[in-house]
């Protein structure tokens, strides 16, 4: 199949329990990293990779995501009248991409969330981007995967190495061969028990999948955590079409758990064009004060 990848699914139906209570009434995808919600970084990566149509799989209490990517005439009008053109540009940038939405009616896992968008995708290869992973890279992560897909026309799953003691938190691959950055895979294992992972190559929330995944997901049984797992379906897909696990270039930030989120916020603030210099000074002062009080 030689079709171009133009469609992407962004699952955003998760309950965000790791961030409670902040996620009680606010979608975790709307938590800000400096001045943008996490999901905007994901949408920007998709667009920069050539994606034309995005579908976000939402759930209850996720309205703020739709409002964020919608046009806000009143706000734009006010900013225009006040001559705040910088802010106007930033606000407009949020609504210049067409996004579709569908609700996952029950929280049945990532595999089920992706399956929910099957009619939107139809019979073509597509991308999946998970909101818990933000990647900063010279070439957008998803674009790297798309270029790999264009060479082989089979599914491509983004992976990177993680510390051994972290493997139980991810989908892990058991590689069978390697060609450049592309691993052939023997086994895809979702959240292996601690100490049992066959490698430290973890699935990192970026996928190019062929549409055959949907007929596998039609019958996919529950796996780790009692949920329908995308990783299990990919394992089945790999038996009928070779799947490549692609070790992409770039730095991946885990915004799916609190410490990763704090770390990302600090790093993005330090690197920010607008706030970077002030943040460096602020942090130096704070750390100096701490060092002094601990000496007293
Ligand atoms: C999901 C996937 C897992 C992957 C991870 C990356 O897990 O199921 O295979 O390694 O995202 O962030 P989750 O973190 O949603 O439990």
Residue 189 CA to residue 223 CA, distance in Å, equals: 10
Q: Which CATH architecture best describes the domain 7-256?
A: Alpha-Beta Complex (3.90)
pLDDT value at 96 more than 90: no
Exposed, middle or buried by CB within 10 Å (0-12, 13-18, 19+), for 88?
Answer: middle
pLDDT over 80 (residue 294): no
User: CB of 170 closer than 6 A to ligand 1?
Assistant: yes
Atom of ligand 1 nearest to the CA of 229: 8
What is the rounded distance in angstroms from the CA atom of residue 38 to the CA atom of residue 65? 11
- Whether the CB of 205 sits within 6 Å of ligand 1: yes
- Max CA distance (Å), the chain: 69
pLDDT reading at 6 higher than 90: yes
Q: How far apart are CA 49 and CA 153, in angstroms?
A: 17
- β-strands 156-161, 201-209 pairing: antiparallel
Band (pLDDT 50/70/90 cuts) for residue 97 is confident
Q: In this structure, are residues 42 and 10 in contact, taking their beta carbons and an 8 Å threshold? A: yes
pLDDT at 296 over 80: no
Task: Give percent above pLDDT 90 in the chain.
Answer: 88
Q: Is the model's pLDDT at 210 over the cut of 60?
A: yes
At residue 93, the pLDDT reads: 83
Q: In testing the pocket of ligand 1, which one of 171, 213, 227 has its CB within 8 Å of the most ligand atoms?
A: 171
Confidence (pLDDT) at 2: 60
Measure the CA–CA gap between 209 and 230, rounded to whole angstroms: 11
Which CA distances in Å does 261 have to 14, 133, 186, 209, 211?
16, 10, 33, 28, 33
Backbone phi and psi for residue 124, each to the nearest 5 degrees, phi listed first: -140, 160
Please tell me if the CB atom of residue 130 comes closer than 6 angstroms to any atom of ligand 1. yes
Structural domain boundaries in the chain: 7-256
Both structure tokens of 10: 């962004």
> What share of the chain has pLDDT > 70, as a percent?
99
> For the chain, what is the mean pLDDT?
94
**How far is residue 135's CA from residue 174's CA, in Å, rounded to a whole number?**
23
Give me Rg for the CA atoms of the chain.
20
* Cα angle value 209/213/217 (rounded, 5°): 140
pLDDT-derived band at 231, boundaries 50, 70, 90? very high
Once rounded to an integer, what is the mean pLDDT over residues 205-209? 97
Quote the CA–CA distance of 183 and 282 in Å, as a whole number. 44
Q: Ligand 1: which of 128, 166, 169, 230 to mutate, most ligand atoms within 8 Å of CB?
A: 169
């Amino acid at each position: 199949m030689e079709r171009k990848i133009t469609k992407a699914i962004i699952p955003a139906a998760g309950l965000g329990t790791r961030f409670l209570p902040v996620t009680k009434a606010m979608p975790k995808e709307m938590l800000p990293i400096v001045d943008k919600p996490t999901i905007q970084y994901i949408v920007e990566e998709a667009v920069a990779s050539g994606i034309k149509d995005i579908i976000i799989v939402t759930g209850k209490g996720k309205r703020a995501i739709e409002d964020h990517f919608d046009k806000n005439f009143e706000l734009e009008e006010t900013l225009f009248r006040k001559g705040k053109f910088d802010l106007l540009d930033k606000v407009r940038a949020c609504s210049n991409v067409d996004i579709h939405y569908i609700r996952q009616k029950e929280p049945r896992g990532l595999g089920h969330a992706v399956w929910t968008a099957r009619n939107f995708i139809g019979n073509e290869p597509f991308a999946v981007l998970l909101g818990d992973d933000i990647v900063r890279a010279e070439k957008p992560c998803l674009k790297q995967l798309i270029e790999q897909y264009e060479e082989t026309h089979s599914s491509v799953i983004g992976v990177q190495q993680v510390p051994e003691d972290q493997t139980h938190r991810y989908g892990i691959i058991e590689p069978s061969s390697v060609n450049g950055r592309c691993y052939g895979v023997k086994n895809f294992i979702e959240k292996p028990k601690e100490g049992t992972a066959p490698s430290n190559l973890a699935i990192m929330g970026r996928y190019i999948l062929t549409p055959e995944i949907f007929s596998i997901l039609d019958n996919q049984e529950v796996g780790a955590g009692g949920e329908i797992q995308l990783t299990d379906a990919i394992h089945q897909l790999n038996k009928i079409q070779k799947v490549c696990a692609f070790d992409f270039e770039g730095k991946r930030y885990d915004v799916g758990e609190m410490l990763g989120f704090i770390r990302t916020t600090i790093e993005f603030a330090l690197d920010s064009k607008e706030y970077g210099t002030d943040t460096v000074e602020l942090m130096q002062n704070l750390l100096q004060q701490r060092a002094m009080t601990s000496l007293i």
